[in-house]
Every structure is written in structure tokens, then in C-alpha cells.
Amino acid sequence: MRSKLDIKVSKPEQMELAYLTHFLHADKNGSAKYYSNPAKEYLQNLGEENILKDKDPDQLSFPIEWDVPFPPPEKPKFKFIDLFAGIGGFRLSLQNLGGKCVFTSEWNHFAQKTYEANFGEVPFGDITKIDEANIPDHEVLVAGFPCQPFSIAGVSKKNALGRKHGFLDETQGTLFFDVVRILKKKKPKAFLLENVKNLVSHDKGKTFIVIREALKELGYNIHYKVLDGKYYVPQHRERIIIVGFRRDIFGGKEEFQFPEREEIPFALEDILEEKVEEKYTLSDKLWKYLQDYAAKHKAKGNGFGFGMASMDGITRTLSARYYKDGSEILIPQERRNPRRLTPRECARLQGYPDSFLIPVSNNQGYRQFGNSVVVPLMQAVGANIIKELEKINAGNSTKSHSGCTGVANSIL
């Protein structure tokens, strides 16, 4: 079907493929209507290769056997949308909990390619061009909105270039407000947002106050905490997690708690591949450059330099710039120069299973995993959110069956 319907991500903003693949994933009790007309138009224009040319898209009911590693759940427990989706770390986390994704947005077409290969769905592109009214209803909104305007590295770079950062960033900084407008229109029961730790302290805390108050004004009770991915993968990765619940549904009395762990159950050696190609070993020239660079900054009293990882410990934070030289996480080798991680090891370092496909170049793979969320951490947070939704669902069902006023409020 993929081949016959010409589903191939090759450029940005392939909206027709987004509509078609979202329609093929859509259920018949709500989300299909948002995608059927553009999907029908695409099929009508496809020509003789169209294997569905004799069928009305609105009447399609045949079972699809998904040839992707992570197909949608057959009997979903809740619906969610995936904004600034990257390669699908949030989606994988919530699908593992029984959730069905009904809308996805990601502007980078290399990330779209990886997303489609693993989930069978092409994300919509630039979220600023998406009308919130055209997004299906859902129970949970998840978003890892762009962090560069608030990250320590991003702020330092922009300062050096004389550019603005935070909400004054002309492009990425304002994308948080696209999350706000979607929350305002669709009013999901809960949301889950993720960003860099520095978001809390950016601009002396003023940025986070704006974010928190904007979410409260929408009618949500807010929970936030900086969590470290090291309790789920062998990587030190601190991120601010923001969770919200609608006050008119939960009354501000939800019993949500962030997951807590005290022991680090993994070591770096647990995720390393047994055989690694020679190309991942640093050249003499690059290795000398990194050592000289570190020595120069050490002499100035700075902390800049490469990070030699310990096999029985955890790594530094994997970043999107890892493809450049791998300097933040180097793997020692006996009688040889150190090496960088392979893309598969980076995937494991973020908690992705080995069945997760990497259909892009190594450089793009490094960027994608460096920008990703820690999958098992997001799943742990998501599980506690879903527990609260299930309580509300069970409570409303009891009221309905006991003859009290009100309608059963199914999560679906």
C-alpha cells in the first residue's frame, strides 16, 4: 500500500501525505472527518497506481495490516495529539500506554521521514500554519516545544551573535503560544510538556512565569518538576516537565505525582554494541584537536572540553550537535583513539527499542536522537497522567449508572 499510494517523505510540507496517512489511521468515531476530503482528493489525483481508486474513502472499513514497527493500538484507551513531534518519542511513550494519536505535527522533513517509517503516518508541517479548529478532539496534548531559545547553549550562542532569545526569538521562541491557542480551542483534559531545565531560570525566571500563568489562565491546574533521565537510561539528562489538568473536570484535586526513583539501574556498557565499524573511531587529527581545545580552556579556568565516558557509569547529556565531533560523549578504547557513539547506541541512550528504524543518514540520526525525549521517562510520567484520567472516567461512569445527573465521560 505504501508503494502504490506513493507514500514517501522527500520534502517539507507534504500536506497531502499527512492528510492521507492521518485518514488511514483515523477512527470512525471522530477524527476521520478532519482528514477524509483532502485524502479523497489525493487519491483521485493519484492515477492508475491508486489501489483504492474504486473505493470511497468515507466508506473504507477494511483492516490495515501495518508494516511498521509501532502500529496504532487496536483498542485504544485514550486519544492524544503529538506536537513538535520530532521522531516520535512522546508517541511511542503514550502508545505503549494504550493511547491513539489522532494528530501529529513536525516541520523537519528528515524527522518526518523517521516518524513515518516507524508509525506509518506523515506528520503535518509548520504548526503556525495549522488552524486549531482542524485538529481532532483529544484527551491529552503532548509537546516538546523548541528548547533552543531557552537552553544554556542556545542563549550563549545567540548572545554571542547579538541575537534575541527566549520569547523574543522571532521564530522558535513564540511557538509555545501555538500550544496555548490549541489548548484554548480543543480543551483536552490534560497536557504534558517538556523543555530544557534552563527554561525555569531563563530571564531570571520571568519566562517561566509567563508560561505558567498562560496555562493557568486557560483553566489548568499546573504541576512541574525538573526530572533526570538517568534513572531510566544511562544518561544525565535534566528536563523540565510540565503537566496540567483541567480544573473544571478535576477540581484541582487530582492526585498526580511525578515518578520518583532513587537508584540508577543502568550503566553505559549495557547499551553499547558489540561490534562497531572503524569509522566511529576518532581520527588522529580530530582527537588532537579535542585534546588541545580542552587544554586551552582548562588553562583559562573554563570547564569546556570533551567528555570521556565511564563504562560503568552514565554519560553527559546527548545533544543535537553530537554529529559534529561527538565530544560530549566519547567511548574509550584500548590502545586506540576513543570513538563516538553509533546512531543505534544514541537511540538506546534515549530509551528507544532496537526495533526503532533509523532510515536517515548518521548525521541526521545524531541530530534526531539528540533532540529527542527520554522515552521511558515520558512513559512513566504519562502513566501517572492516565491514572488520573481513568479515575475521572470511572467516577463519571458510576454516577451515570447510579441514576445521578451527568453523562458517562469516557476517556475515548
Residue 79 in grid coordinates? 486519544
CA distance readout (Å), 225 to 175, 197, 222, 242, 310: 21, 9, 10, 7, 28
Q: Which three cell numbers stand for residue 30?
A: 471522530
Give residue 88's region: left, alpha or beta (phi > 0; psi -120 to 50).
Answer: left
Task: Label residue 156 exposed, middle or buried (CB < 10 Å: 0-12, 13-18, 19+).
Answer: exposed
- The Cα 367–Cα 350 span in angstroms is 12
C-alpha span between 33 and 117 (Å, rounded)? 25
Residues 281, 336: contact at Cβ < 8 Å? yes
Q: Which of 367, 339, 360, 352 is nearest to 276 (CA)?
A: 339
Label residues 382-397 b or e (16+ Cβ within 10 Å = b).
bebbbebbeebbeebe
Catalytic positions are 147
Instruction: Name the burial class of residue 45, with classes exposed (0-12), middle (13-18) and buried (19+) by CB atoms within 10 angstroms of its CB.
Output: exposed
Q: Is the Cβ–Cβ distance between 352 and 92 less than 8 Å?
A: yes
- Whether 106 and 123 have beta carbons less than 8 Å apart is answered as yes
Cα gap 345→348, rounded to integer Å: 5
